[in-house]
Structure 1
Amino acid sequence: MTLDAMDWVWKHSQSKGNTRVALLYMADQVRTSAAEARLGRPELMAAMNATKNTVRDAIADALELGELEIVQPSAGRRAALYRLPGAVGYSRKGSDVDPLENGRGSKVDPLRGKAPSGRGSDVDPLESVEGQVSTPRGSKVDPLPHPSKTLASSEPEKLDGFQICQPLVQAMTEAGITVSWSMKAADWLDIATVVQRAGVPAMVAFARDAKAAAKQKPRYATFFLRGGWRGLPPAASVPPPRATPAGKRPHCGHPDCDPITRTREIENDRGLRNLHPCPDCHPTAKGQAA
């Protein structure tokens, strides 16, 4: 059970840094098919050689990624019971082997990189086994690889999600909403669907309001996906901007006014914000916006 859980963390977890260390230690303590382990904060602090705040942040990151669940919270002297949902029912199959084993199943010395069988063949412990892509020594690794690199060729429809979301990533960053975009391929597809349906301006506007209302600063793009992006209406329901003559007015410079569509989010009497033609760029629209 332990090896299967750890294998899942090594090969499928999106976590990084202290969060990955915490998940690896939890996976090492798994003893049931439910991928559950009962651990206390002091035990994690000792295992990670980290402070209480570091452990707390690591657990919070794992929970937000959806790679950790609290089955039973801590109570008194009883430690909390955690579950690794991705490792439930997971088992190493086919060519998946222990990362410290070579392609023929013999153990590899992680310090020398040689198999003890006496064959004398050098094996890089950071390279994958036969049939998988290996990383050459000294090469740089992209911290946010394109999800299509990990998808099977039988699912070509998933290859466009990452590219479709790039205008949104840029717009969010330009709006000062800096979050981590490290997530699963399925999340990229969900966000790409919203981009195509609701449009980037509406998604950025929603994220700006959600960030302002959040008690803690959002750290992952999935916060907005699960918090309301999926429910945004289609962009077709937004009234198109009025046509402007050849000598159109210059952009008003308002931060909420899109320089291309000349539309702005305006709050109505019920406190709801909707897109309308900018009343400064379209003076005839002032009465409608009011």
Structure 2
Amino acid sequence: MSLDAMDWVWTKSAAKGTARMVLLAIADKCTDDQCTAYAGTTMLVQRTNAARSSVVAAVDKLLASDELRVVEGAKGPRGETVYHLPHAVGHVRHTSEESRFRGPETGPAQNPDRSGNRTPGGTETGPEGYGNRTPTGPESGPQNAYERKHQPEQQQPRATRSPLIPELHPLGDALAVAGVAVRWSLGLGEQRDVYRLVQAHGVEALVDLAARRTAPGTDAKPARYWLKVWGDLDRPQSARPGPNVVPLRAPNPAAYTDNLAAGLALLQAQKEGTAP
């Protein structure tokens, strides 16, 4: 149920910023068809990586919008508040969305009858008359032939990137326009870290830093590399290498020679007793 509740937040909720992240964190803990979950403020602070005051303000905003309600008289195992997502009740993800996360099935389910023939109907029969083939051996049977033919299709979704959350679409589009190729292969938690940097510094700052670190014709770099680079924006300005660093000046050879000659002359005068 948590995936259906989270999908409602992604596709239907009007919450923005920290409030949206708080709502996602609560939806992730829903375990029943009524979309209820207990969540303490400390847990929400840890999951959203936001300040405690921001989380409290976000919860108040969600309660005011009626996208979140408090279940009166109910408490979690440690006294946590029990919340209810009323508008997410009954929401079901689309099949296409489910296949993006789960990938295709490993093969059609076998349902043989007593005669050894597969039961016709639906997708059980498989492509190209698969259900009507006569097996000739364990290696050449229809199940193995079907799996060998579609094995690349089954393995391909494992190498694909995780879906990019809608909040990061402006960043992805701006990077593409700036000529910075990125391989988006981040998990949901890492994407939340990127979104926090977007909120703190803005899309323009992240794109500008990535563009300055990218040479023309450079191959696409993984998003985890850019997440580490963008993390430098959180460092104090004095700790960042940049144009504000003043190089040491090279010594002046002529001035050094003059000072040496004057020092030797003073020592000679003191030795002869003529120094003032």
TM-score (normalizing by structure 1): 0.36
Higher relative contact order (CA 8 A, sep 6+): 2
- Greater helix share, structure number: 2
Q: What is the TM-score when the length of structure 2 is the normalising length?
A: 0.37
